[in-house]
């Protein structure tokens, strides 16, 4: 029996008619738990087959889980939509205050449909939804200013989430992101552009409900166990100390750090922009998502002269992690921390996905180097490795979509290469730009077969480093490893648990935590649910035209040696054939 305090209310909002209503869907939460499990069902229900990602029918779905607000690190919100970047499944996860705010407002999920006539932002307070006029903040250059204006005009400070887009989302750049609480993002696959297509500038959510518990003593003991395990974990300590930026040096040492569009996997200047250098010279503060005792969010303070007056400075606070450091740092050959931070600030300000932006710029630089394009296409910008000022200029032109070339870049690297050539070094996987790992076949096959083509689907890079470093795997064995991990991650993301805490939330802890909210599951059932959710995602992908026989593998991943043995096209093709058989 499931207790009444699982988050079964779904808030529907129609931007075309300015209407909203709530539906109880206990059935969905009982069967698919929450987060990813619920979101894929709602996507199948609400997104008509073949719908244009920019049409009113494309829904934006936010979903949280039954542990949100009750247990540490159940702090993520899952967003699902049809992606304008790949034309297929869009899924992106984000922390900040988003999950706890949605749960405290009384919802397990929010579904937004329609298109507003005028720029709008939504303010959701408990059971009320306000459709606010966003004309004055539409078109503003900086997403930071937009956040400040909304903060000053809306109540609920400290409890609310403010999800918003920048000019990239307004202008439908296909990899525009949605930013929450200034430093967290629904980064990948273009949720920002879907917001933009709906004339939706922002969504504010806040609520003050309290949550009931089945057995408060049992809950308290379990809470302490989870909390202590998190704060005493050495892995979590690493996330707190240097954050994911710690990965730069070990990956470089290993020879798995993509550099200059993966022309090489070692960066000679890695030690100049490492996590250690940023922590020592720039770290200004650390932040945490709501209900997280770790605080892995690292913010650099960049102090620069401002204007002509002497002794006049401005300090910018800029968030950094491993992935943007790879994409806007090593991938572009940038070795100055200030340069990386300035470029990062521009990308943040306009609301772009940093990973896709970095890969797009890296391809453009190599294309210019090889003469595939000329300065006529780049509008005179001399894109050169390490030259962060030219990259900053290019970012502005991408967001402006100012002409044919920058308009192509605004559609992603695969699209740009299809127009101009250079496919062999266009580093995208099923339409999504590559993450920062060239560790071996696990990393690349993992992104190919992962349901959202993200390194977070199944962490193939970790299999390279933990397993393949010791022994070779056949394609069958590798796919088995990847799928097992991906099935389990469906459970974690249905509970919206931060993947950094995957070592804390073991199967045993997950089952016990689910008991506190009334689920009576065993290990076998839990794993079956994970597998089913994965299957449902692929069902949607295939419905929308996904085809394993129709993909592009950039030669560059075979040409640049990985730290691990042989790795060729045949290996990838075999692995893809195996997964195709398994999921069809």
Q: Which two tokens stand for residue 169?
A: 């989302």
* Closer by beta carbon to ligand SF4, 241 or else 400: 241
Per DSSP, the chain holds a count of helices (H) and strands (E) of: 23, 17
Residue among 122, 292, 483, 495 that touches ligand SF4 (CB under 6 A): 292
Stretch that binds ligand SF4, among 52-60, 289-297, 344-352, 361-369 (CB under 6 A): 289-297
SS3 category, 202:
strand
* Closer by beta carbon to ligand SF4, 295 or else 386: 295
Stretch that binds ligand SF4, among 135-143, 293-301, 302-310, 527-535 (CB under 6 A): 293-301
Minimum CB separation of residue 243 from ligand SF4 in Å reads: 8
Minimum CB separation of residue 221 from ligand SF4 in Å reads: 22
* Closer by beta carbon to ligand SF4, 186 or else 500: 500
Longest dimension (CA), the chain: 70
Residue among 239, 326, 487, 538 that touches ligand SF4 (CB under 6 A): 239
- Is position 226 an interface residue for ligand SF4 (rule: CB under 6 A)? no
Closest CA to 436 of 254, 258, 562: 258
Task: Decide if 336 contacts 387 (C-beta within 8 A).
Answer: no
Interaction pattern, residues 60-99, with ligand SF4; x per rule: CB under 6 A = -------------x-x-------------------x----
Strands 128-133 and 161-164: unpaired
Other Cβ atoms closer than 10 A to 220? 12
* Closer by beta carbon to ligand SF4, 77 or else 432: 77
Minimum CB separation of residue 205 from ligand SF4 in Å reads: 17
Stretch that binds ligand SF4, among 147-155, 286-294, 333-341, 435-443 (CB under 6 A): 286-294
Q: Which two tokens stand for residue 423?
A: 């496919």
Closest CA to 514 of 4, 6, 98: 6
Q: Which two tokens stand for residue 302?
A: 């960049």
Residue among 297, 344, 355, 456 that touches ligand SF4 (CB under 6 A): 297
* Closer by beta carbon to ligand SF4, 149 or else 299: 299
Stretch that binds ligand SF4, among 149-157, 285-293, 334-342, 475-483 (CB under 6 A): 285-293
* Closer by beta carbon to ligand SF4, 297 or else 445: 297
CA angle 145, 150, 151 (to 5 degrees): 95
- Is position 294 an interface residue for ligand SF4 (rule: CB under 6 A)? yes
Minimum CB separation of residue 455 from ligand SF4 in Å reads: 15
Closest CA to 554 of 323, 261, 259, 332: 261
For residue 499, which phi and psi values (nearest 5 degrees)?
-65, -20
Closest CA to 202 of 57, 450, 15: 15
Alpha helices in 370-467 (DSSP H): 388-400, 404-409, 413-420, 441-449, 460-463
* Closer by beta carbon to ligand SF4, 72 or else 440: 72
DSSP class of 261: T
Interaction pattern, residues 494-513, with ligand SF4; x per rule: CB under 6 A = ----x-x-------------
DSSP class of 557: H
Angle in degrees, 0-180, between the axes of helices 337-350 and 354-369, rounded to the nearest 10? 120
Residue among 149, 288, 372, 509 that touches ligand SF4 (CB under 6 A): 288
Angle in degrees, 0-180, between the axes of helices 441-449 and 569-583, rounded to the nearest 10? 40
Query: What is the total count of residues that contact ligand SF4 (CB under 6 A)?
Result: 13
* Closer by beta carbon to ligand SF4, 116 or else 290: 290
Minimum CB separation of residue 289 from ligand SF4 in Å reads: 3
Minimum CB separation of residue 71 from ligand SF4 in Å reads: 12
Task: Decide if 426 contacts 413 (C-beta within 8 A).
Answer: yes
* Closer by beta carbon to ligand SF4, 231 or else 392: 231
Interaction pattern, residues 442-481, with ligand SF4; x per rule: CB under 6 A = ----------------------------------------
Task: Decide if 317 contacts 299 (C-beta within 8 A).
Answer: yes
Q: What stretch of H or E contains 81?
A: strand 77-82
Residue among 80, 109, 134, 289 that touches ligand SF4 (CB under 6 A): 289
Residue 280 vs residues 31, 283, 284: alpha-carbon distances, Å: 48, 7, 10
Q: Which two tokens stand for residue 120?
A: 């709008």
Query: Which residues lie below 8 Å from residue 162, measured CB to CB, with a gap of 6+?
Result: 147, 150, 151, 154, 180, 181, 202, 203, 204
* Closer by beta carbon to ligand SF4, 295 or else 518: 295
* Closer by beta carbon to ligand SF4, 204 or else 289: 289
For residue 210, which phi and psi values (nearest 5 degrees)?
-115, 160
Q: Which two tokens stand for residue 281?
A: 């010279």
d(CA 387, CA 396): 15
* Closer by beta carbon to ligand SF4, 102 or else 426: 102
- Is position 204 an interface residue for ligand SF4 (rule: CB under 6 A)? no
* Closer by beta carbon to ligand SF4, 183 or else 571: 183
Q: Where along the sequence are the contacts to ligand SF4 (CB under 6 A)?
A: 73, 75, 95, 239, 288-289, 292, 294-297, 498, 500
């Amino acid at each position: 029996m499931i207790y009444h305090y699982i988050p079964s209310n779904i808030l529907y909002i129609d931007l075309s008619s300015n209407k909203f209503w709530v539906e109880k869907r206990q059935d969905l939460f009982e069967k698919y738990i929450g987060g990813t499990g619920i979101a894929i069902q709602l996507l199948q229900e609400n997104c008509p087959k073949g719908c244009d990602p920019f049409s009113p029918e494309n829904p934006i779905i936010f979903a949280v889980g039954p542990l949100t607000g009750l247990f540490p690190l159940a702090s993520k919100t899952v967003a699902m939509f049809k992606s304008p970047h790949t034309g297929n499944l869009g899924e992106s996860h984000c922390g900040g205050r988003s999950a706890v705010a949605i749960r405290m407002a009384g919802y397990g999920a929010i579904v937004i449909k329609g298109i507003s006539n005028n720029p709008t932002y939504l303010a959701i307070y408990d059971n009320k939804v306000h459709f606010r006029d966003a004309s004055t903040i539409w078109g503003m250059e900086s997403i930071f200013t937009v956040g400040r204006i909304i903060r000053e005009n809306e109540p609920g400070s400290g409890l609310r989430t403010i999800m918003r887009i920048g000019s990239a989302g307004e202008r439908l750049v296909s990899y525009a992101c949605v930013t929450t609480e200034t430093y967290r993002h629904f980064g990948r696959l273009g949720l920002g552009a879907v917001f933009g297509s709906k004339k939706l500038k922002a969504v504010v959510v806040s609520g003050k409900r309290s949550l009931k518990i089945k057995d408060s003593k049992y809950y308290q003991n379990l809470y302490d166990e989870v909390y202590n395990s998190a704060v005493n974990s050495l892995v979590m300590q690493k996330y707190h100390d240097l954050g994911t930026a710690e990965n730069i040096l070990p990956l470089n040492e290993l020879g798995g750090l993509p550099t200059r569009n993966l022309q090489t996997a070692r960066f000679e200047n890695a030690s100049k922009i490492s996590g250690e250098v940023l922590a020592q010279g720039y770290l200004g503060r650390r932040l945490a998502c709501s209900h997280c005792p770790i605080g892995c969010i690292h913010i650099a303070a960049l102090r620069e002269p401002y204007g002509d007056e002497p002794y006049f400075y401005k300090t910018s606070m800029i968030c950094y992690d491993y992935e943007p450091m790879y994409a806007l740092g090593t991938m572009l050959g940038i070795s100055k921390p200030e340069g990386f931070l300035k470029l990062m600030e521009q990308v943040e300000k306009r609301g772009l996905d940093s990973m896709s932006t970095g890969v797009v710029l890296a391809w453009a630089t190599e294309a210019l180097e090889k003469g595939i394009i000329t300065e006529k296409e780049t509008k005179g910008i001399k894109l050169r490795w390490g030259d962060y000022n030219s990259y900053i200029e290019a970012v502005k032109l991408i967001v402006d979509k100012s002409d044919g070339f920058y308009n192509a870049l605004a559609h992603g690297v695969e699209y740009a290469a299809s127009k101009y050539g250079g496919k062999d070094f266009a580093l995208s996987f099923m339409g999504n730009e590559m993450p920062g790992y060239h560790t071996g076949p696990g990393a690349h096959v993992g992104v190919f077969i992962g349901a959202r083509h993200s390194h977070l689907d199944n962490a193939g890079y970790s299999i390279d480093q933990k397993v393949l470093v010791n022994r070779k795997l056949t394609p069958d064995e590798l796919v088995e490893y990847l799928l097992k991990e991906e099935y389990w991650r469906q459970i974690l993301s249905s509970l919206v648990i931060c993947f950094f805490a995957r070592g804390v939330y073991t199967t045993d802890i997950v089952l016990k935590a689910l008991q506190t909210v009334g689920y009576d599951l065993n290990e076998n059932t839990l794993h079956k649910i994970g597998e089913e959710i994965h299957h449902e995602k692929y069902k949607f992908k295939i419905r929308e035209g996904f085809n394993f026989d129709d993909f592009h593998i950039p030669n560059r991943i075979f040409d640049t040696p990985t730290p691990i043995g042989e790795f060729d096209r045949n290996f990838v093709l075999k692995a893809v054939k195996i997964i195709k058989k398994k999921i069809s």
